[in-house]
Amino acid sequence: MTPSTPSAGPLASPVFRALWIATVVSNIGTWMHDVGAGWLMTSLSPDPLMVALVQAATTFPMFVLALPAGALADIVDRRHLLIGAQLFGLVAAAMLAALTLAGLANAVILLGFTAAIAIGAALSAPAFQAVVPELVPQSALQQAVALNSLGVNIARAIGPAVGGLIIAASGPGAVFAVNAVSVLGVLFVLVRWRRTAPERHLPAEHMVGAMRAGLRYALRAPELKVVLIRSVGFFLFASGLWALLPVIARRDLELGPLGYGGLLTFMGLGAITGAMVMPKLRGQMGANAITLAASILLALSMAALSQAGQFATASATLFVAGFAWIAMMASLNGGAQATSPGWVKARALAIYLLVFQGSMAAGSTLWGSVASRIGVPSTLLVAAGLLIVASLILAWRFPLDRASALDLAPSAHWPAPLIDGNVEHDSGPVLVTIEYRVDPANVPAFFAAIQEMRRIRRRDGAIHWGVYEDTAQPGTVVETFTVESWLEHLRQHDRVTNADRVHQEALAAFHAGDIPPVVRHFVTRR
């Protein structure tokens, strides 16, 4: 559905509004499940490692499936993908509820079905983010992203408290059943949505090729790499808080399920407060300063939590932790959005989710294992100290502020290739040459400037790249790159951005010929 007016806010779109409300309800169910799963595991196996594995089972499927899910979101009908993923998660949640209510659940069953529910979420996540631009006008896109973030934090504030009440009244099985029911609203909206798939003037990419293109972009886009590196440096250590919180609540604070839900509610309230303050913070501080401050604040909260002996102290600490968490999440997610153009958006965000969830899964397992040996308070202190050290180093070495200056809109400034007759899409490899005429005195500076094109060509699909000067005619320089097929070269035309155009215009300033640089295409005939 297309919004009726360009100036309409995101909630003016009936589909976005309905999907947002349904997703908030579903996320409440998800947070209720997290409370129930963590609490049930403390009854089935009090070992901190087993409790931490619940968090790992929630996050590891995203690590494995994020990139395939992102590729699927760019290839198949996203509505169908979302419906299938939601059905899968619904069945898994319902089966876990039935087994728990029947008294048949054990640690292995709990971990297995928690992982299955997470698989459904992993398949959905990139597609959910990718459909937002289809539902709202471009002018309302940032508001829509902010609303989605706010919805997550509303669910975080409500879900744990409601989950704690239901666990206290009826046990974890009832929470799992409510989680299954909460998915129905999302399914209802998706089934009723009559999506008009965007037209393609080129064939869709194949699954493996799409995944390779996404990975290639992530490896060749330095600004996105900064976001990913900063994500690892944060989530690997911050995951200790989430992994060990159930143990702290039950064993150290001697709380029941209602008290545990109350702790998570305070963290959610802190996150909501942070989401409301973030626009003002962004106007006063850059992304790099915000992420550094948020990391240090979360580390101090973890250290304070390790010494908290009462519910009130722990709640206040977690409120601050929630504030810091959402500030970091918003900055990193915004950086991933800002450093990925439309053609690879779902895959780039999927890779960010892969790094996020993979770091959380690895960190949860690591800190759970450490806590089994040195205790929970000492483990939190170690994780907090390492988080501060890592954040200081990474904020200095990999600042985040460059992302906001990028213009990744399609530039469409490459002219269509000149061909005599028809060239089949699968023809190739394709050799492209660009011949420049450069003042011989400027050749060294030109060679230095053109090195940036190596990264751009390789990022967008080139498998080889080179630049050469004619030995007989100094100043005649040829740039060459090879692409695996004619179709892949046509895709390169679609992928070039306004930021790339700036680099190409800088090279054009070196060109001294009367005519533009000569571009030629050579195709291997099969």
Question: Mind listing the pLDDT tens digit for each residue in 432-465?
Answer: 999 999 999 999 999 999 999 999 999 998 999 9
How far apart CA 265 and CA 255 sit, in angstroms, is: 14
User: What is the per-residue pLDDT for 262?
Assistant: 82
pLDDT, residue 187, reads 93
Find which of 94-103, 402-411, 423-432 is predicted with most confidence, using mean pLDDT.
94-103
Q: Compute the distance between CA of residue 104 and CA of residue 113 in angstroms, rounded to an integer.
A: 13
| One domain for residues 170 and 279 | yes
Please check the confidence at residue 480 and state whether its pLDDT lies above 90: yes
The pLDDT of residue 171 is: 86
Residue 168's pLDDT band (cuts 50, 70, 90): confident
Of 370, 405, 440, which one is at a domain's C-terminal end?
405
Asked, for residue 424, whether it belongs to a domain, the answer is no
Res. 6: pLDDT tops 60: no
> Mean of the pLDDT values across residues 149-173?
81
How far apart (Å, rounded) are the C-alpha atoms in residues 305 and 317? 6
- CATH at 454: 3.30.70.100
Say if residue 51 is in the same domain as residue 129.
yes
Shared-domain flag, residues 392 and 478:
no
pTM of the model: 0.80
Instruction: Between 19 and 409, name the one with better pLDDT.
Output: 19
**Locate tokens 């609490």: which residue?**
39
The whole-number pLDDT of residue 71 equals 87
Do residue 128 and residue 240 come from a single domain? yes
Torsions phi, psi for 434 (to 5 deg): -125, 120
| 472 & 386 share domain | no
The structure tokens listed for 16 are 């976005």
Above pLDDT 90, what percent of the chain?
A: 38
State the Cα angle at 132 between 287 and 1, rounded to 5°. Answer: 155
> Which H or E run contains 20?
helix 14-44
Asked whether residue 304 falls in the same domain as residue 374, the answer is yes
> Does residue 413 or residue 444 have the better pLDDT?
444
Please give the mean pLDDT across all residues of the chain. Answer: 86
Structure tokens at 283: 């106007």
Quick check: 99 pLDDT over 50?
A: yes
Q: Specify the residue for token string 């060509």.
A: 457
Residue 410 belongs to some domain of the structure: no
4-18, 306-320, 365-379: range with lowest mean pLDDT: 4-18
Q: What is the mean pLDDT of residues 267-279?
A: 81
Determine, yes or no, domain membership for 419: no
Res 53: pLDDT: 83
The whole-angstrom separation of Cα 397 and Cα 288 is 11
pLDDT (tens digit, 9 = 90+) per residue, 247-267? 888 888 888 777 877 887 888
Confidence band of 146 (pLDDT split at 50, 70, 90): low
Domain of 65, CATH number, reads 1.20.1250.20
DSSP letters for 57-120: HHHHHHHHHHHHHHHHHHHS-HHHHHHHHHHHHHHHHHHHHHHHHTT---HHHHHHHHHHHHHH
Its domain, for residue 476, covers: 430-523
| 448 shares a domain with 302 | no
Burial (CB < 10 A; 0-12, 13-18, 19+), residue 373, is: exposed
H-helix or E-strand spanning residue 518: strand 518-523
DSSP letter string over 223-287? HHHHHHHHHHHHHHHHHHHHHHHHHIIIIIS---HHHHHHHHHHHHHHHHHHHHHHHHHHHHS-H
Indicate whether 149 and 264 sit together in one domain. yes
Which of 405, 420, 449 is at the close of a domain? 405
Euclidean distance between CA atoms 513 and 70, whole angstroms: 44
Residue 197 has pLDDT above 70, yes or no: no
Q: Same structural domain for residues 397 and 442? A: no
At residue 36, the pLDDT reads: 87
Count of structural domains within the chain: 2
The reported pLDDT for the residue numbered 402 is 66
The whole-number pLDDT of residue 4 equals 42
Does the pLDDT value for residue 269 go beyond 50? Answer: yes
Half-sphere exposure of 504 (CA within 13 A, CB side): 16
Q: Are residues 334 and 399 in the same domain?
A: yes
Residue range 26-37, pLDDT digits in tens: 999 998 998 888
Identify whether the C-beta of residue 464 lies closer than 8 Å to the C-beta of residue 503.
no
pLDDT category at 3 given cuts 50, 70, 90 is very low
pLDDT in tens, 490-519: 999 888 898 889 888 888 899 987 788 999
Specify the pLDDT at position 252.
Answer: 83
d(CA 46, CA 311): 21
Least confident of 227-231, 238-242, 422-426: 422-426
d(CA 233, CA 388): 10
354-396: pLDDT as tens digits: 888 788 888 988 998 899 899 889 999 999 999 999 999 999 9
Query: Beta 462-469 vs 430-437: how paired, if at all?
Result: unpaired
* In-domain check, residue 369: yes
Q: Provide the pLDDT confidence category of residue 136 given band limits of 50, 70 and 90.
A: confident
The pLDDT of residue 61:
83
Q: Which two tokens stand for residue 155?
A: 């669910």
Residues of the chain above pLDDT 70, percent: 95
Q: For strands 430-437 and 476-483, give the pairing.
A: antiparallel
- Give the count of beta carbons closer than 10 Å to the beta carbon of residue 184: 15
